[in-house]
Amino acid sequence: MARGDTPQDSYHLVGISFFILGLGTLLPWNFFITAIPYFQGRLEGTNSTTGTLYTNHTGPTDTFNFNNWVTLLSQLPLLLFTLLNSFLYQCIPETVRILGSLLVILLLFALTAVLVKVDMSPGSFFSITMASVWFINSFSAVLQGSLFGQLGTMPSTYSTLFLSGQGLAGIFAALAMLMSMASDVDAQTSALGYFITPCVGIFVSIVCYLSLPHLDFARHYLAKKSSQAQGQELETKAELLQSDEKNGILNSPQKAALTLDLDSEKEPELEPEAPQKPGKPSVYIVFQKIWLTALCLVLVFTVTLSVFPAITAMVTSSTSPGKWSQFFNPICCFLLFNIMDWLGRSLTSYFLWVPLGERPRSRGPPSRQLPPQPDQDSRLLPLLVCLRVLFIPLFMLCHVPERSRLPILFPQDAYFITFMLLFAVSNGYLVSLTMCLAPRQVLPHEREVAGALMTFFLALGLSCGASLSFLFKALL
């Protein structure tokens, strides 16, 4: 289709749809961690029709370590499906993956909402909730990977909108919690309304995805993605035929005819002036180029998930009981973290500090081009990433009541708020920075492999941080 024939995104409907889909992919994680005190109250047997939805439950009564387990069982599926994505995505059609994942997430969230009104033993409630967390986040991982693949052929603006939706999911969950707390209803009704909210969000996401094939702009790019997939399939078949020919297995007229056609099409590439096609990128070679950046990404998420929300959700206000004490953790922990994290990620659009110099590229074929080489300033990024480890003891020494080992050195609320501001902004900026740097450190035809590797290390960092949270909580 000619450039002038490309349809327009009327009323920005496609952009709005992908923004809502981005919001829907991270709603499960954010709605579960924001409601940690509600779950702890149920597990302690204090859930009733009186009181408030959000009450801090800390200390030795937290026998189930709910905040640690919900973090770990939310991140392990991401790591697992990152490893299995190639096999899974080839076996199951894209539409089935996306719609099926959204429907399962909707049903499991509806189950979570129903359980608000069901009385059961703490052990049974814990088991059902943990199973829901595992399956919801498993399907969320499949959903997120599938939507990223669909965005691959669309203009980069739509990837930005999708990521913006993901960044606002935490803010949306925190605001929903604050609205539930501010409502003049009993605790169970407030919790029911809170968990119905993501159900509505997932349902709207389903409607948005179903509407995409009916929009000319989305249909145009989805058709382009389908044609590219067919081209990749033909290229794979051609490579197999060439391999058979070398091994002397060319034993059918159809294979011979197709091989001749492929050879005739490749003849112009043999001309001296034609550019040489780069070979398949090696995962090992790409890893050698980006290993330091990948390690920085792992460390950033390891530090973040080791204390958020396992430790930070336990911090309470040092002031006397009242409205501020009740709203302190939802505002200063979850809402503040998500706002500042989103701000930190957005800063890379205006201030992209690049600690890597670029060596001039040669004019030879892509396989002979030299990637950017690190300069002396590249040591600053690992230093800043390592300095974030200091946030672990800082949060552990904040006002967490009923501790048994460590003292409280920062009892005032201002300390916790200051730590959270720096913690969240640095997390968002360094994560976005490392994800931007990795493609700049490799050759153009190696960027897809670099992106896949960085996604794996992102999931690895999240899982490592969730695992370490058990240790740090035990040290309190």
For residue 399, what is the enclosing H or E element?
none
Domain with CATH 1.20.1250.20 in the chain: 11-223
- Whole-number Å distance between alpha carbons of 323 and 51: 13
Per-residue pLDDT averaged across 226-250, rounded?
43
Mean pLDDT of all residues in the chain? 78
Report the pLDDT value the prediction gives residue 191, as an integer from 0 to 100: 85
Q: Is 351 exposed, middle or buried (0-12, 13-18, 19+ CB in 10 A)?
A: exposed
What's the topology of domain 278-358+370-476?
A: Growth Hormone; Chain: A; (1.20.1250)
Read off the pLDDT of residues 435-469 as tens digits, 9 standing for 90 and up.
878 888 888 878 778 877 888 898 899 999 999 99
Verdict on whether the full-model pTM lies above 0.85: no
**b or e along 365-404 (b: 16 or more beta carbons within 10 Å of the residue's beta carbon)?**
ebeeeebbeeeeebeebeebbeebeebbebbbbbbbeebe
Distance of CA 354 to the CA centre of its chain: 23
410 — phi, psi (to 5°)?
A: -125, 75
Contacts of 423 (CB under 8 A, 6+ apart): 304, 308, 337, 388, 391, 395
What single-letter DSSP state applies at residue 375? -
Average confidence (pLDDT) over 80-90: 74
Q: How many distinct helices (H) and strands (E) make up the chain? A: 16, 0
Alpha carbon distances (Å) from 446 to 90, 259, 280, 366: 21, 28, 8, 10
Confidence grade of residue 292 (pLDDT, cut at 50, 70, 90): very high
Buried b (16+ CB within 10 A) or exposed e, 307-331: bbbbbbbbbbbbeeeeeeebbbbbe
Mean pLDDT, rounded, for 415-442: 90
Residue 281 has pLDDT above 70, yes or no: yes
Residue identified by tokens 């389908």 is 226
Asked if 222 and 212 touch (Cβ cutoff 8 Å), the reply is yes
The span from the CA of 394 to the CA of 401, in Å, is 15
Query: pLDDT by residue (tens digit) across 316-363?
Result: 998 888 788 888 988 999 999 999 998 988 887 777 665 544 443 444
Nearest one of 129, 142, 10 to 66, comparing CA atoms: 129
Give 8's pLDDT tier (boundaries 50, 70, 90): confident
Neighbours of 250 (CB within 10 A): 14
- pLDDT of the residue at 46: 57
Torsion (CA) 4, 12, 149, 104 in degrees, nearest 10? -150
Residue 232 and residue 153 in contact, taking contact as beta carbons nearer than 8 Å: no
At residue 53, the pLDDT reads 59
Rounded CA-CA distance 101/137 in Å is: 10
125 is written with which tokens? 């409630």
CATH 3.40.50.150 matches 11-223: no
Q: How far apart are the first and last CA of the chain?
A: 63
